[in-house]
């Protein structure tokens, strides 16, 4: 009975989708006529796209898609008929219209636009897959024009890091295809779940993968300022600070100081520097090489991160009396290093080199699950 009901509901949804697509086509033709009228100037708008998106409460991309369809509908009659019959969707028609427009506008086109060739593919492919078919078709017909388009895309590249009111930062940008592919290739292997206890969302895992990848690429150069009391973990000590960022908690400063360079500044009562000590690395480069050779990667049971993606962790932090000897250090990846310092887990190594981990009490464990996003951009 449930299968029959689902089939009937699916058929109803399909018919409704066809009616919606037909309405979208009619709307696209109307929008194209409005855009061609030039009336947007009489209403004080610089472009027809701005006029339509604001007046009709639409996104800019949606307006442009419909203008493509409205302008090209008369030139792709077979595709319009196929959409009205429910053989393809409005998304397919948008891609066909865009492809024709790009080829007609190009001065390098070597092959004439073949609507039926694309339509045959559209009938068999999803909208997502059909996008790549259209791109390949454009390249086959107009390689030089496609290359010029790629240069134009590259000129639009941008990346912005903006601090929010809640202390986090927003990363936004537009990457050219090569940069996007490189970033995806670098992060995807590191964004997989680290076992059944990994409760992070995909977005959180992607964030951590980026941090881990950047840390592996080169030594992070982040200046952290903290008092001796903070470093020792004394009660009442102030938080550590990163220039231009909100204060950071002591567990985080502990994690960052595991493998950082430490420089001593002595201040007088008026906060004037009276002495600057030498910078010393913890651990030293030879010690890090030895650590890499011994552990080969993250020592957390079941983790396979290589040494190049890991940071040294002091089993007993050196600020609390632990030595910087090799016996007091292990390699941990970004995810498991955070678990120990910020997450409350404990990790031990016995005399035989066996690693044991202990889960913190339930009310202590850091749960990295999706939650509310109260911060707004500053």
The Cα–Cα gap between 357 and 372 comes to 31
Half-sphere exposure at residue 182, Cβ-oriented, CA atoms within 13 angstroms? 5
Q: How much is the pLDDT for 376? A: 35
Could you tell me where the DSSP H helices lie in the chain? 2-37, 48-55, 60-72, 77-84, 90-105, 115-122, 127-141, 143-155, 177-187, 202-217, 228-232, 250-257, 285-295, 334-341
Structure tokens at 74: 């008369």
CA distance 2 to 18: 24
How many CB atoms are located within 10 Å of the residue 183 CB? 14
Residue for token pair 């090209």: 72
DSSP state for residue 277 in the 8-state scheme: P
Backbone region of residue 207 per phi and psi (left: phi > 0; alpha: psi in -120 to 50; beta: other values): alpha
Other Cβ atoms less than 10 A from the Cβ of 369: the count is 8
Cβ-based burial of 337 (10 A; exposed 0-12, middle 13-18, buried ≥19):
buried
Note the pTM of the prediction, 2 decimals: 0.58
Cis peptide before 34 (omega within 30 of 0): no
C-alpha count within 13 angstroms, C-beta hemisphere, residue 70: 19
User: In sequence order, what DSSP letters do the residues of 326-337 get, joined into one string?
Assistant: GGGEEEEEHHHH
C-beta of residue 86 within 8 angstroms of C-beta of residue 18: yes
Phi, psi dihedral angles at 310 (to 5 degrees): -115, 165
**Residue 190 in tokens:** 């590191």
Residues 6+ apart with CB under 8 A from 122: 79, 82, 88, 92, 95, 96, 130, 133
Dihedral over alpha carbons 297, 298, 299, 304 (to 10 degrees)? -80
Length of the chain: 378
Please compute, for residue 2, the number of CA atoms within 13 A of its CA located in the half-sphere on the CB side: 0
Task: Output the pLDDT for position 182.
Answer: 77
pLDDT at 364: 57
200: number of Cβ within 10 Å: 18
**For every one of its 378 residues, what pLDDT tens digit does the chain have, with 9 covering 90 and above?**
566 677 889 999 999 999 999 999 999 999 999 999 999 998 899 999 999 999 999 999 999 999 999 999 999 999 999 999 999 999 999 999 999 999 988 877 777 899 999 999 999 999 999 998 998 888 888 888 887 777 777 788 899 999 888 888 999 999 877 788 778 888 888 888 888 888 899 999 999 998 888 866 555 466 677 777 777 767 666 777 776 666 776 677 777 777 666 666 666 666 565 555 555 555 677 878 888 899 999 999 988 888 888 888 988 877 677 777 888 889 999 889 988 888 888 999 888 889 999 888 776 544 444 333 333 332
The Cα 297–Cα 305 span in angstroms is: 6
């Amino acid at each position: 009975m449930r299968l029959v009901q689902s089939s009937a509901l699916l058929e109803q949804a399909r018919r409704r989708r066809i009616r919606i697509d037909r309405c979208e086509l009619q709307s696209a033709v109307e929008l194209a006529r409005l855009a061609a009228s030039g009336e947007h100037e009489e209403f004080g708008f610089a472009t027809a796209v701005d006029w339509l998106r604001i007046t009709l409460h639409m996104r800019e991309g949606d307006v442009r898609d419909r203008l493509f369809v409205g302008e090209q509908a008369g030139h792709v009659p077979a595709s319009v008929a196929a959409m009205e019959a429910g053989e393809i969707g409005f998304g397919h028609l948008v891609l066909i219209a865009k492809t024709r427009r790009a080829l007609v506008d190009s001065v390098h086109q070597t092959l004439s636009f073949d609507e039926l060739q694309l339509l045959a593919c559209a009938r068999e492919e999803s909208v997502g897959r059909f996008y790549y078919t259209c791109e390949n078709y454009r390249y086959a017909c107009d390689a030089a024009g496609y290359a010029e388009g790629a240069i134009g895309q590259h000129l639009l590249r941008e990346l912005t890091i903006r601090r929010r009111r809640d202390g986090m930062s927003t990363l936004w940008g537009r990457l050219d295809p090569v940069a996007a592919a490189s970033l995806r290739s670098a992060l995807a292997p590191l964004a997989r779940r680290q076992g059944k206890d990994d409760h992070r969302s995909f977005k959180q895992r992607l964030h951590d993968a980026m941090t881990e990848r950047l840390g592996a690429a080169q030594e992070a150069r982040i200046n952290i300022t903290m008092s001796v009391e903070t470093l020792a973990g004394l009660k009442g000590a102030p938080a550590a600070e990163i220039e231009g960022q909100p204060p950071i908690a002591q567990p985080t400063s502990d994690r960052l100081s595991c493998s950082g360079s430490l420089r001593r500044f002595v201040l007088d009562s008026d906060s004037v520097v009276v002495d600057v000590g030498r910078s010393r690395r913890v651990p030293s480069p030879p010690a890090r090489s030895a650590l890499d050779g011994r552990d080969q990667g993250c020592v957390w049971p079941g983790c396979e991160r290589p040494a190049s993606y890991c940071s040294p962790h002091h089993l007993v932090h050196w600020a609390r009396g632990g030595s910087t000897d090799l016996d007091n250090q292990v390699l941990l990846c970004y995810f498991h290093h955070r678990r120990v310092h910020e997450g409350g887990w404990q990790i031990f190594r016995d005399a035989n080199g066996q690693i044991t981990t202990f889960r913190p009490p339930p009310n202590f464990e850091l749960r990295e699950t999706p939650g509310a996003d109260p911060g707004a951009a500053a």
